[in-house]
Amino acid sequence: MLALDCQRQAGGIALLWGNNNEASLCTYTNSHIDMIITVQGWSKFRLTGIYGKPDRARRGSTWNLIRDLSTQSNMPWCIIGNMNNVLGQAHKRGGRLYPSWLVQGFQEVLDDCGLIDMELNGYPFTCERGKGTEKWVEIRLDRAIVSKAWLEIFQDAKLTNLEVSTSDHTPILLEPITLHITPRKRRLKFENAWLREPICKQIVEDTWNKHQVEPLQNKLNHCLEVLTDWGQDITGNFRRRISDCKKVIRSTKG
């Protein structure tokens, strides 16, 4: 682990990895950590974590840092972190328009260094201020930008906004390799709670009659499949339903 403390109430950056030979440290400052990542079965690549200067007057130092880092290696490259900047007005909702000189300056950095902004899956904004007030602002400050060579190697890479956070920023997850996992076959199970619903009997009768020419086991399976689909609304995802109830309670209290 390499961790760099925040300055006052801003900044702070850390990088953690699993095995000693997975990451090789190149350079670091209080605004960045630059490493080479070596994982068995993957192509070696460069990973840079960045915390952009929050002071707009000093934003140019972040851009110059990226430019300087781009000249140090031709290795496939990924930069990820809080850039404290946007690439377009669509990346901000609420408040005044983002200063055009900041948008243009950041865009020029990506053009100069041949970097590509990765698409963010999930909620489009990663930071918010003044939630629930007239000054509520949502903005995408956290992102991953990659070289063309990196994207050609990790063609199935995925960047996701995890959304849940106690901070004013939400975490983003970058998966260089997206695993294609065969979905497990759904387990069908009869729930006794269904018997309390009058429509349950009718569902069984209708399904049974619809497949009455089939063997007994087939008819039983059809009934269970239909009941399982219907029963999700009765005894479905309790965790999600509890979470929805809590949101209603919080909004009522507010």
Q: For residue 240, what pLDDT band results from cuts at 50, 70 and 90?
A: low
- How confident is the model at residue 152, as a pLDDT? 92
Mapped onto helix, strand or coil, the DSSP state of residue 102 is helix
Q: For residue 100, what pLDDT band results from cuts at 50, 70 and 90?
A: very high
- List the one residue out of 83, 90, 45 whose CA is nearest residue 61: 83
Residues 6-44 pLDDT 10s = 666 566 788 888 877 788 889 998 889 999 999 888 889
Residues 180-221 pLDDT 10s = 555 555 566 677 777 778 888 888 888 888 887 888 888 888
List the structure tokens of 183.
């979905």
Runs of H (alpha helix) within the chain: 59-70, 100-113, 148-153, 198-210, 216-235, 238-253
- How confident is the model at residue 84, as a pLDDT? 92
- How confident is the model at residue 191, as a pLDDT? 75
Please say if the pLDDT value at position 90 is more than 70.
Answer: yes
49-56 mean pLDDT? 90
Please say if the pLDDT value at position 249 is more than 80.
Answer: no
- How confident is the model at residue 226, as a pLDDT? 85
Beta-carbon count within 10 A of 196 CB = 8
The CATH fold of domain 2-175: Deoxyribonuclease I; Chain A (3.60.10)
Q: Where are the domains of the chain?
A: 2-175, 192-253
